Amino acid sequence: MITRQRLAAGACALLAALAAGIAVPAGAVADETTALAPKVNLLLDVSGSMRARDIDGQSRMAAAKQAFNEVLDATPEEVQLGIRTLGANYPGDDRKEGCKDTAQLYPVGPLDRVEAKTAVATLTPTGWTPIGPALLKAADDLDGGEGTKRIVLISDGEDTCAPLDPCEVAREIAAKGIGLTIDTLGLVPNTRMRQQLSCIAEATGGTYTSVEHTDELADKVNQLVVRAADPVVTPVAVEGAAGCANAPAVKSGLYTDREEFGQQRWYRVDVLPGQELRASVSVSADRAVNPDYGVLLRAVTVHGREIVRGEGNGTGRTDVISTGLRYPKAEADDDADKPAAETVCLQVTNSFSAASGVKSTPGLPLELTVDVVDGPSRASDVASFGLGRGWWLLGALVVFGFLTGVLWGWISRLRVSVWRTN
């Protein structure tokens, strides 16, 4: 009897230990998920100039609120999002006080969409434009955690709190090595504002975009928020050559380079039989350029024969031009022992031209994405008309329908003939 009791007690203790062992990792997993959660801080300019009514017939503030509501609805669940303002609270003329005017409207964390929208609805264009101080505070808001960190700055004017230069602030943030990216969006920009916001973005590897319409603002902010949830890919710096023969070899990955106005950059990729090469390139206008420009991406053989190309062009309404291409390499014959890789040369050419008085060096930022993946296992896997193996089912249905129609027609004629005879 005592032995049974001891066995029962031992079994209970074992179950309790197992339960405790299961519970602890679950909590640890939850903590780890929170620590790795991507964080985004939307930094909105609410200075007095946001009253201007020049975005689709409404004020800049109204356009920003509408865009924010759409972004909040589309924010992925895994993203921790916050909102900080600058120039929203102090209406006076004291510059010292005006340059302190930045506040956390909604703390960075799990998103309550209703609460965040209610907070945004209360905003009214008020005061100064302390971009530099606001960036410092916005970076502090994102402290902690190991996930990606991103500040999205939306402004319609230059900083009014120099000598605290926002560009220097961005460089200081980048120098801390905390992996924080600052993207900037300029509402109805002028040249000086464009230069300042571009400098802020470039200092941390972010992007700058000019915005003149509400839908553009919503689309771009949403794109940046969603991008924060994507797996982090560290870009690799590479220097393209002037020709294919001396081009650097690249594999699947993300690469950054710079390309001068009207220049060509070459890169080499090895593609095995049965693989597919997917490549895309984006060239950014980080300074004033003339309208009507384009980007060409070509895949050619080492002998110069063009395989496929992709083209993109613009007319001055966007700061980034992108294009891409796909090249499926046919499978080798079955009797081939070791199929040889084909070297494909990627050529990037731009037709940007510098505006008057603008420096042409350094070159324009270039981002190249290369992906070499396995293609269909055999050509027969993709049948005529792009239907794959479903073609056989369609063929069977067509034959069945034809025979049914013939049979029904024969029966109908027989019935009519019998009716006439009677």
Of 226, 80, 91, give the one whose Cα is nearest residue 141. 80
pLDDT for residue 333: 63
Write down the pLDDT at residue 387. Answer: 42
The better pLDDT of the pair 223, 405 is held by 223
Q: What is the pLDDT of residue 31?
A: 61
Sheet holding 180-187, edge to edge: 102-109, 80-86, 39-45, 149-155, 180-187, 208-211
Does pLDDT of 381 surpass 50? no
- Give the pLDDT confidence score for residue 204 in this predicted structure: 82
* Model-wide pTM > 0.85: no
Separation of alpha carbons 49 and 61, rounded Å: 9
Q: Which residue has the tokens 């972004």?
A: 71
pLDDT at 415 (0 to 100): 67
Q: What is the pLDDT of residue 422?
A: 59
Q: Average pLDDT over the chain, rounded to whole?
A: 82
pLDDT confidence of residue 8: 45
- Do the domains spanning 34-228 and 236-375 agree at the CATH topology level? no
pLDDT higher than threshold 70 for residue 161: yes
Query: Is pLDDT above 60 for 22?
Result: no
Helix (H) or strand (E) holding 33: helix 2-36
Report, as an integer, the average pLDDT of 1-14: 45
The pLDDT value recorded for residue 2 is: 41
The residue whose two tokens read 């895994």 is 78
Whether CATH 3.30.56.10 fits 236-375: no
Q: What is the reported pLDDT for 99?
A: 92
Sign of CA dihedral 256, 257, 263, 265: negative
Tokens of 248: 């650097």
Question: Which pLDDT value is given to residue 107?
Answer: 96
Q: Which CATH number among 3.40.50.410, 3.40.710.10, 3.40.50.10800, 3.10.310.30 corresponds to the domain 34-228?
A: 3.40.50.410
Most confident of 30-34, 407-411, 414-418: 407-411
Domain ranges in the chain are 34-228, 236-375
Q: 290 near 306, Cβ under 8 Å?
A: no
Residue type (1 letter), 242: A
Average pLDDT of the segment spanning 46-57: 93
- Averaged pLDDT for residues 211-230: 87
Q: At what angle do helices 60-74 and 214-228 cross, to 10 degrees?
A: 40
pLDDT tens digits for 308-363? Answer: 999 887 776 556 778 888 898 887 665 556 668 899 999 999 998 888 888 888 88
Give the dihedral of Cα atoms 329, 333, 338, 340; nearest 10 deg: -30
Q: Can you read off the two tokens belonging to residue 312?
A: 């993109």
Q: CA dist 145 to 33, 139, 231, Å?
A: 10, 13, 15
Is the per-residue pLDDT at 120 higher than 80?
A: yes
Cβ neighbours of 61 (radius 10 Å): 23
Tell me the CB-side half-sphere exposure of residue 148, using CA atoms within 13 A. Answer: 21
pLDDT > 90? residue 404: no
